[in-house]
Amino acid sequence: MANKKHNKHKKKQAHNTEPISHNDPIVKTKEEKKYLERRRLYFLIGALLGLVIAVVGGHIVSKSDTEFNFPDIDSLSSLDLFDSWTPKLSKFLPKALLEDELFGFSNKKKSKVDLSEDFVVGKSMKKEDPSMGPKYPVIMVPGVITTALESWYLSANDAEDSLNDTIKCSPESYYRKRLWGSIFMLKSMIFDKKCWLKSLKLDEETGLDPQGAKLRAAGGFESTDFFVPGYWIWNKILNNLGVLGYDSNNMLTAAYDWRLAYLDIERRDKYFSRLKNQIELWHKTHNQEKVVLFGHSMGVQIVYYFLKWVESEGPLYGNGGDNWCNTYIDSIVDISGSVLGAPKAVPALISGEMKDTVQLNEAALYGLEAFLNKKERVDLLRHWFGIPSMLPKGGTLIWGNKTHAWDDPSCSANLEENYPYRNFGNCSYGDFIRFSDTNETYSVDAAFDFINYGAPDWFVDRTKDQYSYGIATSELELEENNKNHRFWTNPLEFQLPKAPDMKIYCFYGVGNPTERSYVYKHSNATTDPPFVVDYEFGGQGGSRSVFLADGDGTLPLITHSMCHKWAEGKSPYNPGDVKVKIVELKHEPKKFDMRGGAKSAEHVDILGSAELNEYLLKIASGKGDEIEERKITDLQYWVKEMNWPL
């Protein structure tokens, strides 16, 4: 059935430019596919290995562990290493090497402007249209794990802490250090693993700070500028906004502790209250101008959660009233939002695995298991109560059943590539989890049973208390759910605000193979959870134990279905007829560029996309109406034919 619909949609799509089919981005030569999939992974492993060598070397030559600090290196958190080191490298590297574009060091003038370079997009747009400048204040909400976390714990009674703690740590050595998102993080992971893990885990009962640890999201633009030196996150966008005239008076990074369940971010840090106050202040001090919110990945879920929180009544809610969003918010920008969830969150919470770990070579995998085995990884993730917010939502309606899924591949296209499916009798991604040792298959709904199997009660109870993954079946149910925070991370169970003047822009990458379903087996190993990904399935070093679909490398295409549903106009899901504009960005990475270059639409690297940056600058300067929609996949047609209850 899915294949017939797919063929029909192809005819409808003929007017679109550069149409993408499942046989376009996914089916490549084996060599090219392996290179594209593993290029970033090898780069990160190599970078990590280099840092480990540097850290270990520094540790050996240091006089004592207490003197083992990296004040100079830690200060490089906002440094783009290769660009900044080129003048220094010229003192001892051959000139020919520095001018070799393969290594990215060339300073020769190029015939074309490199749009991936800092400030270039902003300067080009400003030159083309000098009237462009700051109109709306901008708030940027980062995604999961990309916000740095700092330690603020100090003990007033070391003796009492020593009696109560089974793991002895020195809070002074961690004080105001970044235990996540820095070189210091790597040092702590290697030489102080137990204390590092203790600091990162939240309390099992309260979901807040555990005894003997207190981490907080780093403040300012540096909290999400770079993850570690040389690996930018929001830096490109910040630079281009700066060209237009934005500064700290009209631009803000709303960093948050992504480990916390969403309501606990408010309960502990008053995050949403401070966000509400900032927006109201800017509205007052910027000639009644509204605010634009840029969200990325999990940050998009935070933004939509905020829209419901701010208008709802209750002791921990915003109490802003039904017109607050329409009064204060001009636009929501959804950048690769995990709105309907990420499949990779499922194996992460079942067995501490995902495509990136499965495809490690044997030596790297052995090192990972020796340092942090599967059970330890699952335990850590279960102590981060924000992670379950990214589990798939909508069940078989969105993710398919055991017969078919909307984004199913064509089995006849390439028999060799589809070898793994033959063992299970079908080609459907709707078989979300397959067991190679029993030939049993399960849909996405059953995945929650595997996540909860053997999980402690505190994890299961807090997940049920904070999140919901189903589908509302009546408009009355949607209206009731608007009053309960448990439903605000699932757009299938809440309504957009009645804000007819507000706009939503959805930008996401396509054409990049993305994990979609998995092959598991039962495990009896003492260091393993009960179920683990079958690394040996189908050969190919485990690459065939994870099935890939179209997407951005992290989120499959189907998770963006809600943007298309909202775009249909006024409905029970969109009662205020909020206008939605969708642009699909084709992933076209540049060879020999570790971050993909100006045309990358990979999940994180899209933040450096020249096209995306151009759109963001237009929206911020009040010219969002100039953006033209572009839909180059079949998702728009799948959404129209889904059996929506409303």
In this prediction the pTM is 0.84
H-assigned helices in 270-322? 271-285, 298-311
CB 45 within 8 A of CB 363: no
pLDDT at 105 over 80: no
pLDDT of residue 163: 45
H-assigned helices in 62-167? 71-74, 81-89, 95-98, 120-128, 158-164
Number of H helices, E strands in the chain: 28, 16
pLDDT of residue 615: 99
Looking at beta carbons, which pairs linking 350-354 to residues 24 or more positions away fall under 8 Å? 350/378, 350/447, 350/450, 350/451, 350/520, 350/529, 350/531, 351/378, 351/520, 351/528, 351/529, 351/531, 351/532, 351/533, 352/376, 352/377, 352/378, 352/381, 352/529, 353/377, 353/532, 353/533, 354/515, 354/546
Lowest mean pLDDT among 66-75, 121-130, 426-435, 553-562: 66-75
CB 142 within 8 A of CB 296: yes
CB 512 within 8 A of CB 551: yes
**Percentage above 70 pLDDT, the chain:** 76
Distance CA(275)–CA(305), nearest Å, equals 12
- The band of 30, judged by pLDDT with boundaries at 50, 70 and 90, is very low
DSSP 218: P
pLDDT of residue 92: 52
What's the pLDDT tens digit per position in 179-195? 999 999 999 999 999 99
**Sequence-distant (≥ 6) Cβ neighbours of residue 484 within 8 angstroms:** none
pLDDT at 438 over 70: yes
Distances (CA, A) of 553 to 135, 276, 535, 646: 34, 33, 20, 31
Distance CA(295)–CA(279), nearest Å, equals 15
Residues with catalytic roles: 297, 552, 603
pLDDT at 5 over 90: no
pLDDT at 26 over 80: no
**CA 277 to centroid of chain Cα atoms:** 26
Half-sphere exposure for 506 (CA within 13 Å, toward CB) = 25
Burial class (CB in 10 A: 0-12, 13-18, 19+), 351: buried
Structure tokens at 205: 């009962």
Kindly compute the dihedral angle of the four CA atoms of residues 527, 530, 532, 537, in this order, to the nearest 10 degrees: 120
Distance CA(602)–CA(233), nearest Å, equals 12
CB 486 within 8 A of CB 465: yes
- The band of 413, judged by pLDDT with boundaries at 50, 70 and 90, is very low
pLDDT of residue 204: 97
What's the pLDDT tens digit per position in 228-285? 888 999 999 999 999 999 999 999 999 999 999 999 999 999 999 999 999 999 999 9
**Percentage above 90 pLDDT, the chain:** 68
Distance CA(20)–CA(584), nearest Å, equals 11
Distance CA(418)–CA(416), nearest Å, equals 5
CB 123 within 8 A of CB 243: yes
Distance CA(190)–CA(275), nearest Å, equals 36
pLDDT of residue 356: 72
Pick the more confident residue, 248 or 162. 248
Beta bridge partners of 240: none
Q: What b/e sequence results for 196-235 when a residue is b if at least 16 CB atoms lie within 10 Å of its CB, and e otherwise?
A: bbbbbbbeeeebbbbebbbbbbbeebbbbbbbbbbbbbbb
Closest residue by Cα to residue 250 from 279, 217, 271: 279
- The band of 50, judged by pLDDT with boundaries at 50, 70 and 90, is low
Distance CA(639)–CA(646), nearest Å, equals 13
